[in-house]
Structure 1
Amino acid sequence: MEIQAHADLRADWVRADSDVPSLRAELQQQKSEWERERLAQVQRRQEEEVEWDREIQAHEALRAEWDKETQAHEALRADWARKRDDVEALRADLQRQQAEWKHQRAAEKRRKEDELERVRAGFQWEDLTPDQRCLRHNARGYTARLANVPRSYDPVQACEETVIRIPGVAIEGRPLKCEDRGCSGVFGHWIAESGESICATYFKNFHDKGCTSPGSHRRRIQSRLENVQIGDDWRKMCSTTPATFRHQHFPKPDTCDIGIFGVWGVWEIKDNKC
């Protein structure tokens, strides 16, 4: 058994010895592949180093450009700050000038207003004259001339701004209308609405003229208009004169007529007896 084992071992050695050349060849092949891989790795490393160098140079160039742009931006910001300071100084100077101009204008305006007040204080209404005719019931026109208006002042404006206050006359305030009559002067016109006895027309002696027509439920009342002055517009005087009769007040007649005995106001009042 030992001899057989020894023979088997010897046979293994013989086989192993016969495999040595193939193993040596395989090892040589592996060494060649390792060398190729090492050379390829070295070449890749060299290429990567070259690429890294290019990237580093590009980065440095970009950083230098960035620094240059930063410096330009800082210079621009400094220039803008200087210009802003200049603008602020100009703005402050302009505001100071505007305040001075405003103060001067206000002072000039006050001076002109004071001068105008002194001029206006001299304006005076003269020759207040009532119209020859009445305008309507209890209303009469008045005219007056404005005196002491300097040539430098607009006479119509002076007329429109000047208030009249005359004791005993029922008019007050600015004119309703101003009329420039050239060399004769400027005249203001007012209307007195009360206290004009000459224009105080009235109705009296109301006459019942019967029903206007059967079934109309309307009754005709007639009265003559009193205190009508010669030259007055009878229609306007009649149509604006109020009346009170049969415990009723009427602001004006329904119609007005004129006849040989004067001007008559006519009312048609409600009456169920008609």
Structure 2
Amino acid sequence: MMHNPVKHTAAASTAPDTLQEEHIPMLSASNHVVLEIDHPPPQYSQADSQPLEPDVVASRPRRRFQPKPLHVRILWTAAIFLCILQNFGIVPTLFSTSTCSIRERDHQEVARLKRGAYWTDPAGDEHCGAFGVRYYRARLRSDDSVALEKDWLETCYLMPMTIHGRQLEKPDRCERRDDGQVWGIWRVDFGEPTCAPYWGTVTDLGCVSTGLARLQSRLLGIQHGDNWKNMCSTTPAKLLGVQYDHPTHCEDKGFVSGVIGMWDIERTECN
């Protein structure tokens, strides 16, 4: 059987570990073949690398290691040694533009921006953003409102946040609202079991065009109010032993039939 022409994207979110597999009863349909679907965590494939021809490899000149001149190595060694001595305060800083002083000024600048700044408690969005994804938001506050007013963007991207016990170095996005409040936004793709819908029984619809057959399944476990397009288009599935990052098409068929995902797969019998 040939593989799905749907392009696999590494951007698909990984299914949380807490997602439990549920048994979906077999559905009968006239003139349709009914299959069972697996629910393993999504897998990602890497592109196969093509080896070079022997003649091409043989024709390449070998690169020889070229050591730096002796005076360059001596200068670099002396600079590193001097930097270590300056960091420990053994010798004073000789040049204001030295590597050590620049690094120290960077640390001082970061400390200045972060001084007195803190996040409010993060709050997750009511609805899921995608499969396994929820967005969290928190307001950036500071004891020095003047400094925050001046350097709000730099300070925002320097402030870490802990969500679900994991420390995130910085927000994915910072924004300043019309009222002057600074907010950080994090895209959290772990520890969100309620954002993990799954596919039900899969039906084989047969050939739909030359060389292509179609499989379809209903999306189950989607929460009320979630964007059905985002959830359907990012939910992975394993069909007939092949892992798919997302369906080819998604369609909302109403309350009775629900959200349907469709996969167009190559099939020789359809030629």
CA–CA separation in structure 2 for the residues paired with 1:125 and 1:144: 6
Bigger drift between 229-238 and 117-126 goes to 117-126
Helix, strand or coil at the partner of 1:273: helix
CA–CA separation in structure 1 for the residues paired with 2:263 and 2:174: 39
Aligned to 1:233: 227
CA–CA separation in structure 2 for the residues paired with 1:149 and 1:182: 21
Q: Describe how 1:29-44 pairs up with structure 2 within 5 A.
A: none
Following TM superposition, by how much is the alpha carbon of 1:227 offset from its aligned partner in structure 2, in angstroms?
A: 2.0
Aligned residues: 171
CA–CA separation in structure 1 for the residues paired with 2:198 and 2:111: 45
CA change 1:152–1:112 in 2 (3 A) is farther
Following TM superposition, by how much is the alpha carbon of 1:165 offset from its aligned partner in structure 2, in angstroms?
A: 2.6
- 8 Å Cα contact 1:123/1:148 also seen in 2: yes
1:163 aligns with 2:160: yes
Q: Which residue of 206, 220, 224 corresponds with 2:218? A: 224
- 8 Å Cα contact 2:134/2:192 also seen in 1: yes
Q: Which residue of 172, 197, 201 corresponds with 1:205? A: 201
CA–CA separation in structure 1 for the residues paired with 2:106 and 2:192: 41
- Under a length normalisation based on structure 2, what TM-score does the superposition of the two structures give? 0.54
- 8 Å Cα contact 1:202/1:226 also seen in 2: yes
RMSD (CA atoms) = 3.1
1:138 aligns with 2:135: no
Q: Describe how 1:106-117 pairs up with structure 2 within 5 A.
A: 114=108, 117=111
Following TM superposition, by how much is the alpha carbon of 1:230 offset from its aligned partner in structure 2, in angstroms?
A: 2.4
Helix, strand or coil at the partner of 1:230: coil
1:116-144 CA distance string (max 9 Å, x none) = 52662543222200112222211111101
CA change 1:210–1:147 in 2 (3 A) is same
Q: Which residue of 175, 179, 187 corresponds with 2:175? A: 179
Percent of aligned positions that are identical: 33
- 8 Å Cα contact 2:117/2:143 also seen in 1: yes
- Under a length normalisation based on structure 1, what TM-score does the superposition of the two structures give? 0.53
CA–CA separation in structure 1 for the residues paired with 2:105 and 2:268: 74
Q: Describe how 1:1-274 pairs up with structure 2 within 5 A.
A: 102=96, 114=108, 117=111, 120-153=114-147, 154-168=151-165, 172-181=168-177, 185-212=181-208, 216-260=210-254, 261-274=257-270
Relative contact order (alpha carbons < 8 A, sep ≥ 6): 1 or 2 greater?
A: 2
CA change 1:182–1:218 in 2 (3 A) is closer
1:157 maps to amino acid: E
Following TM superposition, by how much is the alpha carbon of 1:263 offset from its aligned partner in structure 2, in angstroms?
A: 0.6
CA–CA separation in structure 2 for the residues paired with 1:166 and 1:138: 15
1:60-96 CA distance string (max 9 Å, x none) = xxxxxxxxxxxxxxxxxxxxxxxxxxxxxxxxxxxxx
| Greater radius of gyration (CA) | 1
Following TM superposition, by how much is the alpha carbon of 1:188 offset from its aligned partner in structure 2, in angstroms?
A: 0.3
CA–CA separation in structure 2 for the residues paired with 1:108 and 1:194: 38
Helix, strand or coil at the partner of 1:133: coil
CA–CA separation in structure 1 for the residues paired with 2:250 and 2:110: 51
CA–CA separation in structure 2 for the residues paired with 1:155 and 1:100: 34
- 8 Å Cα contact 1:149/1:158 also seen in 2: no
CA–CA separation in structure 2 for the residues paired with 1:268 and 1:165: 41
Aligned to 1:88: none
Greater helix proportion = 1
Aligned to 1:21: none
